[in-house]
Structure 1
Amino acid sequence: MRHRYLPRAAVALALTAAVCAPAATAHAANPPAGRTENLSVRSAESGPALPAPTGKHPVGKTTLHLKDDGRPDPWVPGERRELMVSVWYPAVRPSKNPAPYMTAAESEEYLKTSGVKVPPHLLSTVRTHATLETEPAARRGGLPLVVLSPGFGMPRATLTGLAEELASRGYAVAAVGHNYEANGTTFPDGHTTPCAACKGADMTDADWQRVGAVRAQDISFVLDELTSDRPGWQGRKFIDAGRIAMVGHSAGGFSIIPAMLRDARIKAGVNMDGNFRYPNDVPLDRPVLMLGMTGHVPGGPDATWDRTWKQFTGWKRWLSVEGTGHLSFTDLAALTKKLGIPFQDLDGDRCDAVTRAYVAAFVDRHLRGTESALLTGPSARYPEVVFHRP
């Protein structure tokens, strides 16, 4: 089974309807003058809205531009590794500046690969529930951190709903834009990069293993930047470096293994519907949640889940959600419903609610020590979630 790095069918349906590296530097990223304001106004007045977070905190957001001067970019020779990272956090109060979903350039780059004739800025009109320039609601060193890694070819924005949910519940959340692995990443100087690493159906297992290894390095670097005393985002003082989890979708999901094996700071990991590509022969004794679509069941078409399950020697759960597809664990599930053409059998808002509930229950258990009945067995609240114990 091969990964599809672009959700062509889903996008077409919805849119037709409407090692820790040295010498790093970081700073908050802002688009060219006027762009943030224009996007925020557009986001507030038009376009579909993400489901609202359910936690008690307002959500703040900032964006970081991280430069890893000690590492060459693995996909573009002659460049050093640079990443864009979105950070959400519980805020004291919202500001009057809504956080945009994507830049217009990111939306255009992402959508043009679908081959569909649609307004190129469409995804920049999505309304979020976070605001910019807000004061964090946290004591020093008090926030557990969840790092998000998106699917291959997918901008980091596609996990925004989950990020806002966790931030509203008191987590710091960092979504990593793995440069040249997404169709659209905009940098502070205004330039937007394509997915240079994408090879479509020509991707081999060796290619996917390389993706996992690169992402493991990216995650370690981001953790260094978010938790160290080096100049950068001042919010690092609020993060508890002893309570970190990683959650990924698709390629970001299978990358939890190389990332956790590389970096002991990651205490727990969630794979949302990613075929395990690397590795399948190294035991991992930290908590793992496997959350997948209907086909990700024992003995199903993707044998990598069966093989990898055996290598998890610590706390583990294998759950599938009936009526879902590969993209049902991203914002696209709810957004396509709001555009009038859902792309899975299960209601899009329901897909979103299931993902939020089970990921939140997992990180609550392993970063806060809060038990949840959702992780002990089938729940009458979520009958579409099936527990597997091969």
Structure 2
Amino acid sequence: MIGRIAAAALTTAALLTTGTAVSAAAPVGVTVLPRPSGQFQVGTTTLHLVDQGRPDPFQPDRPRELMVSVFYPAMATERFPRAHYVSTELVPDIQRRLGIELPGLLTNSYTDAPALRDGRFPVVLYTPGAGVSRLLGTGLAEDLASRGYVVVTMDHTYEGPAVEFPGGRITSAAPMPEGFVPSVRKKYIAARLLDIRFVVDSLTRLAAGTDPDAENRWLPTGLAGALDPDRIGIVGHSSGGYAAVEAMHDDRRISAAVDLDGQIGVDEDFGQAATEGVDRPVLVMTSRQIEEVGDANPSLDAFWQHGTGWKRQLTMSNSAHYDYTDMPTLVPDAVRPAAKTYFGPIPAARAADLTHTYVSALFDKFLRNDSNTALDHPGTDPEITTLR
């Protein structure tokens, strides 16, 4: 899937808009993301993280820098503004790539609201697919936060389509004169793995009371005390799914992983998680599309052979690769027929609900020791089939 479909992610906008004149503007104040299913209100903030000890592999004269969004259980949200899905500066680039207009789209989160004072919450990291913004994991992040997780979504600078840094500075994806060939994909994955490790380092510092933000800006009240660095999970989509499982293989601070529709390697070059296995729990959720294409099967077979931890593979009927992201919710219904490469017949709201249910179930089961999750009751949802 990293080969055919994830590479195609880099031209998503063109395929969504080619041959159509369809575009839909979100009126000011509209929320189209599903309402989070948990009991808590959700706050959000951003962090600018700079790894002074690592030159950027795409800009070697600069240290590696990242932007992450943090979603967390919040309180007193009525005093804080709702967060926009896309900042004003990023709107032109993002809407051009998605073929939709987003200037008025709001999330379900409240900017810089104080964190809920109810002890420390497990942490979940989110890493997106190849050439995709962290924004497309917002719906999942909000849902997990509403259930009592601190969720950190990350952009991988110079791989994501556009990343906004403080002061309105925007970086675009690095040029790929040879195309999205395996050597390029390996370079991206290597950078991602170090990014993930650095984000974990930064969150550990934050939980200990040190502000990791490069500008040392004011952070939401109580945020540092809301993170539990001893309970960390990770979820990724497509090549982010590969990075998630590989990062857990490399870093024992990560206790559980979810791979959403990704193989565990780059084409025939399997990752170490596939060739050596991991001893911690992994949930793989595949689309019907990836099952039909079959790209992921060899690396997943190797992972099943070598892994010694709890593992399960589920598939969602009538689904395609991007049904595990926010994209189906954002794209107007009239555009969906032109985008069938990316979305299946399953309704967007149902795909989101199932994704949120089973991702949270994995983390509930292994970060909270909950034995009464959706994973403990197979057959409850007819769209979900257990493959192994």
TM-score normalised over the length of structure 1: 0.84
Give the corresponding residue for 1:356: 356
How far 1:15 sits from its partner (Å)?
Answer: 8.1
Residue deviations 1:221-244 (CA, integer Å, cap 9, x gap): 111111214333652332111100
Equivalent position amino acid for 1:148 in 2: Y
Once residues 315 and 43 of structure 1 are traced to their aligned partners in structure 2, the CA distance between those partners, rounded to angstroms, is 42
Alpha-carbon distance change, 198 to 356 in structure 1, aligned in 2, over 3 angstroms:
farther
Give the corresponding residue for 1:261: 249
Find out whether 1:169 has 2:173 as its counterpart. no
Alpha-carbon distance change, 315 to 9 in structure 1, aligned in 2, over 3 angstroms:
farther
Alignment match of 1:315 (pick from 292, 310, 315): 310
Once residues 14 and 322 of structure 2 are traced to their aligned partners in structure 1, the CA distance between those partners, rounded to angstroms, is 10
Residue deviations 1:12-64 (CA, integer Å, cap 9, x gap): 3898242xxxxxxxxxxxxxxxxxxxxxxx98824552110011111000111
Name structure 1 gaps, 5 residues minimum: 19-41
Alpha-carbon distance change, 361 to 81 in structure 1, aligned in 2, over 3 angstroms:
same
Equivalent position amino acid for 2:84 in 1: P
Once residues 48 and 238 of structure 1 are traced to their aligned partners in structure 2, the CA distance between those partners, rounded to angstroms, is 27
Give the corresponding residue for 1:329: 324
Give the corresponding residue for 1:367: 367
Equivalent position amino acid for 1:360 in 2: S
8 Å CA contact 1:337, 1:347 repeated in 2: no
8 Å CA contact 2:28, 2:105 repeated in 1: no
How far 1:351 sits from its partner (Å)?
Answer: 0.5
Give the corresponding residue for 1:33: none
8 Å CA contact 2:131, 2:159 repeated in 1: yes
Alpha-carbon distance change, 361 to 376 in structure 1, aligned in 2, over 3 angstroms:
same
Once residues 98 and 143 of structure 1 are traced to their aligned partners in structure 2, the CA distance between those partners, rounded to angstroms, is 22
RMSD of equivalent CA atoms: 2.6
8 Å CA contact 1:181, 1:198 repeated in 2: no
Alignment match of 2:275 (pick from 276, 281, 284): 281
Find out whether 1:344 has 2:344 as its counterpart. yes
Once residues 337 and 320 of structure 1 are traced to their aligned partners in structure 2, the CA distance between those partners, rounded to angstroms, is 25
Aligned to 1:378, the other structure's residue is in SS state coil
8 Å CA contact 1:43, 1:127 repeated in 2: no
Q: Which segment is superposed worse, 177-186 or 270-279?
A: 270-279
How far 1:293 sits from its partner (Å)?
Answer: 0.5
Give the corresponding residue for 2:268: none
How far 1:8 sits from its partner (Å)?
Answer: 3.5
Equivalent position amino acid for 1:354 in 2: L
8 Å CA contact 1:153, 1:198 repeated in 2: no
Q: Which segment is superposed worse, 5-14 or 173-182?
A: 5-14
Give the corresponding residue for 2:225: 237
Percent sequence identity is: 34
Once residues 373 and 10 of structure 1 are traced to their aligned partners in structure 2, the CA distance between those partners, rounded to angstroms, is 38
Give the corresponding residue for 1:30: none
Equivalent position amino acid for 2:351 in 1: C
Give the corresponding residue for 2:9: 5
Aligned to 2:167, the other structure's residue is in SS state coil
Alpha-carbon distance change, 289 to 103 in structure 1, aligned in 2, over 3 angstroms:
same
Once residues 323 and 78 of structure 1 are traced to their aligned partners in structure 2, the CA distance between those partners, rounded to angstroms, is 46
8 Å CA contact 2:289, 2:321 repeated in 1: no
Alpha-carbon distance change, 322 to 198 in structure 1, aligned in 2, over 3 angstroms:
farther
Give the corresponding residue for 1:72: 55
Find out whether 1:97 has 2:81 as its counterpart. yes
Once residues 15 and 379 of structure 1 are traced to their aligned partners in structure 2, the CA distance between those partners, rounded to angstroms, is 41
How far 1:326 sits from its partner (Å)?
Answer: 0.7
Once residues 87 and 330 of structure 1 are traced to their aligned partners in structure 2, the CA distance between those partners, rounded to angstroms, is 17
Aligned to 2:89, the other structure's residue is in SS state helix
Alignment match of 2:169 (pick from 188, 191, 203): 191
Equivalent position amino acid for 1:226 in 2: L
Alpha-carbon distance change, 297 to 165 in structure 1, aligned in 2, over 3 angstroms:
same
Alignment match of 1:16 (pick from 7, 17, 22): 22
Give the corresponding residue for 1:31: none
8 Å CA contact 2:246, 2:264 repeated in 1: no
Equivalent position amino acid for 1:130 in 2: S
Alpha-carbon distance change, 180 to 205 in structure 1, aligned in 2, over 3 angstroms:
same
Alpha-carbon distance change, 211 to 15 in structure 1, aligned in 2, over 3 angstroms:
farther
Once residues 246 and 99 of structure 1 are traced to their aligned partners in structure 2, the CA distance between those partners, rounded to angstroms, is 23
Aligned to 1:147, the other structure's residue is in SS state strand
Alignment match of 1:148 (pick from 103, 112, 126): 126
Residue deviations 1:144-186 (CA, integer Å, cap 9, x gap): 0000001111111110000100111111000011111111111
Name structure 2 gaps, 5 residues minimum: 214-218, 266-270, 338-342
Once residues 137 and 333 of structure 2 are traced to their aligned partners in structure 1, the CA distance between those partners, rounded to angstroms, is 17
